[in-house]
Amino acid sequence: MDKEGSLSKAQVIMPTYNRFPITLVKGKGSYVWDDQGNKYLDYTSGIATCNLGHTPEPVKQQVQEQLDSLWHCSNLYHIPSQQQLAEKLVENSCGDQVFFCNSGAEANEAAIKLARRYAQEVKGTNASEVVTFTNSFHGRTLATLAATGQEKIQKGFAPLTPGFRYLPYNDPSVLSTVVSEQTCAVLLELVQGEGGVIPVDQEWLNQLSEICKQNDILLMVDEIQTGMGRTGTLFAYQQYGIEPDVISLAKGLGSGIPIGAIIAKEEAAKAFTPGSHGSTFGGNPLATTAGLATITELVETDVISESAILSDYLVEQMRQLQANHSSIKDIRGRGMLLGIVVEGNAIDYVHKAREHNLLILVAGPQVIRVLPPLTTDRQEVEEFTAIMAKVFEEIEEV
């Protein structure tokens, strides 16, 4: 692209993202193509969104049919695909009722609103504080950036929405301080994604869950990144033996068609009554058709269990890389949400990988984040490993 071209692109889009210098125009399965015809192995899955790979056939077919019938009609009318998607989410989780929106931040907004209203309208208290954790990421709206325990996300947006208290993640010494008179909910990720691919500690989570139960405080898990099969089960909480009161979802729910949702247990869901919350696009026919086709594929095939088996193979391959490269400090994560902790700058590895036609991400300055589609196979895992071996060799040579 010439200089003039890139300048005019920069002028019309606000520079909220540092973009990589490629333009993607096509995707199929685990691969994407740029406008120059170059093919890349996409182990970012559009940031944990295209869990069934790019343009998956079962979702495409349903969305194409829906495009021929009805795109949008508002929530003033019944929407069959919304009803069916809600039924599938409820059948496959510990929750009872669903609210639909359009993104992860909106899902967490809904969760926060539900928690406050539950405390104030259902329990009849003044509690409004939501406890969250350092290094968390919950979104970029005014409330969800305030919920996010990272200063860099909050910088410049003061005054921050009040009502959040941050505690160190996985730290047993803070458990006794979780509950105050003001606390109405705890919100956490079970693997902190953006914060560095940090899995929750089982014992700590057990205790946290127990504290919530005993004090009638809502346990809300942000499964926006970990959900829809990403960590080896439909929802990550299913591996930990806990039952959240509220689950927030987005990303993988629509295979790339924008959609968000919260699923809540009946008691918590009571807090939302007609007029208390809403969204023009939330749960619209097109988005929920994509969601329904996606969850149907996830729960009615063995794609998730196969991905969990393949994750073990991928981790094994990464550990072999680690044995050969001292710059790899740790491999961590769950399922197809994996992190490689490196000595240098993670972004250097991401750039080098792209030069070798592999797309990966960072999660903080020193963690490479690897998010393959759940549908990837052994051959692609080996292609990934071979490229990463070259990337580590070339960076270590410098």
Instruction: Strand 129-133: give its sheet, edge to edge.
Output: 97-101, 260-264, 246-249, 218-222, 183-188, 129-133, 164-167
Which of 51, 82, 93, 103 binds ligand PLP (CB under 6 A)? It is 103
Of 19-27, 102-110, 230-238, 276-284, which segment contacts ligand PLP by CB under 6 A? 102-110
Footprint of ligand PLP on residues 165-204 (CB under 6 A)?
A: 189, 193-194
- Under the criterion CB under 6 A, does residue 369 sit at the interface with ligand PLP? no
Please say which residue, 83 or 141, places its beta carbon nearer to ligand PLP.
141
- Give the number of other Cβ atoms within 10 Å of residue 3's Cβ: 7
- Under the criterion CB under 6 A, does residue 109 sit at the interface with ligand PLP? no
- The 242-281 contact track toward ligand PLP, x by CB under 6 A, reads --------x-------------------------------
Going 207 to 212 to 215 to 216, the CA torsion angle's sign is negative
- Under the criterion CB under 6 A, does residue 137 sit at the interface with ligand PLP? yes
- Under the criterion CB under 6 A, does residue 104 sit at the interface with ligand PLP? yes
C-beta nearest to ligand PLP: residue: 104
The Cα–Cα gap between 303 and 10 comes to 40
Instruction: Strand 24-28: give its sheet, edge to edge.
Output: 24-28, 31-34, 39-42, 358-359
Please enumerate in sequence order all residues whose Cβ is within 8 A of that of 348, keeping only pairs 6 or more positions apart, or say none: 395
- Partnered with residue 124 across adjacent β-strands are none
Query: Per residue in 65-94, is it b (16+ CB within 10 Å) or e — as a string?
Result: ebeeeeeeeeeeeebebbebbbebbeeebe
Number of residues binding to ligand PLP, judged by CB under 6 A: 14
Footprint of ligand PLP on residues 27-86 (CB under 6 A)?
A: none
The Cα–Cα gap between 200 and 205 comes to 7
- The 202-241 contact track toward ligand PLP, x by CB under 6 A, reads --------------------x-xx----------------
List contacts with ligand PLP (CB under 6 A).
103-105, 108, 137-139, 189, 193-194, 222, 224-225, 250
